[in-house]
Amino acid sequence: MNDFIAGIPKAELHLHIEGTLEPELLLTLAERNKIQLPYKSESDVKKAYQFADLQSFLDIYYQGASVLIEEQDFYDLTWAYLCKAHQENLQHVEIFFDPQTHTSRDIKFEVVINGITAALKQAEKQYHISSCLILCFLRHLPEAEAFNTLNQALFYKDQIIAVGLDSSEKGNPPEKFVNVFEQARKAGFLTVAHAGEEGPADYIWQALNLLKVSRIDHGIRCDEDKSLMKKLATDQVPLTLCPLSNVKLRVFNTMAEHNFKKLLDANLCVTVNSDDPAYFGGYITANMQAIATSFNLNKQHIYQLTKNAFNASFAGEERKQVLLQSLHDYMSLHC
Ligand code: ADE
Ligand code: ZN
């Protein structure tokens, strides 16, 4: 089963590029840019990656992002991820980036996006990996700052497919961002939002009804509300689940306690993703293997998860058909 999962063509729909910063590159960039970090070695860094909840992770994650200064740094970060993606047979990736984490340190928006998109273009050429870029607003900051970010994003409209919402969820409900999301939709962006990761099921309703999202990122707390479960199943709203993240951030104590199988069995459109793999101990293959082991999944389950991801992606119709065909070809060969 592990080999089957490793080889199947895949799509990643929930990945923060800043969350792919591996300890080795973190230390290299800190030295290159003369940034002081409280770590001397990779093992110091790894020791610090013990989290009690989302906020304790975010504190370390934003500190890590402080080593990203030059366009080349954003390129190196993204390219390192795409090389891993290629090794794991990812055919399509949708990448979140958090411009405010960088513009707040006086790094220009253009530096961030130019570095990331140069690597995405290279991966398309060299590895035939298609990609979309999703700009996330930091929800712990005021809506006015999200508006500033949106205004900068308008200059890069053709390179950004959607806007999203991430960072500290509790106390920062989707309704706080209703105006900026409306403006973003008017400008032609699709929308997604982290909701129901640590926050209540009501935040998922808000993301759907107020932010008009195409997908819910995480959404695991939907099972606290029966009518929400029904709505998600009926409308087949995709959920981008991130199992290793949820265990590492103690949303669930163990993988066996994760509600993944409950959501799958309730006929929700679930997908499996890696969130911040450098911090949570594994990329997409490891996430799929972890749930396959914990829930005794078969090849048909893995096929369903992958098909869900291709269908839920923002790839164009033609590309989607190519992705689905590659999946069917793989299944014919291996089943
Ligand atoms: N930013 C990076 N990873 C995140 C997560 N899992 N939840 C919210 N914001 C994030
Ligand atoms: Zn996330």
72's CB contacts (< 8 A; 6+ apart) are: 115
| Ligand at shortest distance from the CA of 249 | 1
Task: Tell me what the mean pLDDT of segment 198-216 comes to.
Answer: 98
31-45 per-position pLDDT tens digit? 999 999 999 999 999
Task: Tell me what the mean pLDDT of segment 292-303 comes to.
Answer: 98
Instruction: Give me the CATH number covering residue 67.
Output: 3.20.20.140
Question: How many domains does the structure of the chain reveal?
Answer: 1
Q: Which of 145, 197, 257, 318 is catalytic?
A: 197
Give the DSSP H or E segment for 240: strand 238-241
| Ligand at shortest distance from the CA of 20 | 1
What is the rounded CA–CA span in Å between residue 82 and residue 134?
16
Please tell me the total number of residues recorded for the chain in this structure: 335
Contact at 8 Å (CB) between 36 and 117?
Answer: no
Which atom from ligand 1 is nearest to the alpha carbon of 245?
6
Task: Tell me what the mean pLDDT of segment 300-316 comes to.
Answer: 98
Beta strands (DSSP E) in 104-234 are 130-138, 162-166, 190-195, 215-218
19-75 per-position pLDDT tens digit? 999 999 999 999 999 999 999 999 999 999 999 999 999 999 999 999 999 999 999
161-182 per-position pLDDT tens digit? 999 999 999 999 999 999 999 9
What is the best residue among 194, 245, 248, 274 to mutate for testing ligand 1's pocket, by most ligand atoms within 8 Å of CB? 194
Percentage of the residues of the chain whose pLDDT score is greater than 70: 100
Q: What pLDDT is recorded for position 278?
A: 98
- Banded pLDDT at 89 (limits 50, 70, 90): very high
In this structure, what token pair is assigned to residue 78?
A: 């993204």
DSSP state at residue 267: T
What is the best residue among 97, 138, 197 to mutate for testing ligand 1's pocket, by most ligand atoms within 8 Å of CB? 197
What is the rounded CA–CA span in Å between residue 224 and residue 241?
16
Q: What pLDDT is recorded for position 100?
A: 98
- Banded pLDDT at 187 (limits 50, 70, 90): very high
- Residue 145 falls in the annotated catalytic set: no
Ligand 1 contact, 194 CB (< 6 A): yes
Q: What is the mean pLDDT of the chain?
A: 98
Ligand 2 centroid, distance to 334 Cα (angstroms): 32
Q: What pLDDT is recorded for position 203?
A: 99
- Nearest-CA residue for ligand 1 atom 8 is 167
Ligand 2 centroid, distance to 194 Cα (angstroms): 7
Ligand 1 contact, 73 CB (< 6 A): no
248-274 per-position pLDDT tens digit? 999 999 999 999 999 999 999 999 999
Q: Domain of residue 72: give its range.
A: 2-334
Q: What pLDDT is recorded for position 64?
A: 98
Q: At what angle do helices 299-312 and 284-295 cross, to 10 degrees?
A: 140
Which atom from ligand 1 is nearest to the alpha carbon of 249?
6
Ligand 2 centroid, distance to 36 Cα (angstroms): 26
Q: What pLDDT is recorded for position 332?
A: 98
218-259 per-position pLDDT tens digit? 999 999 999 999 999 999 999 999 999 999 999 999 999 999
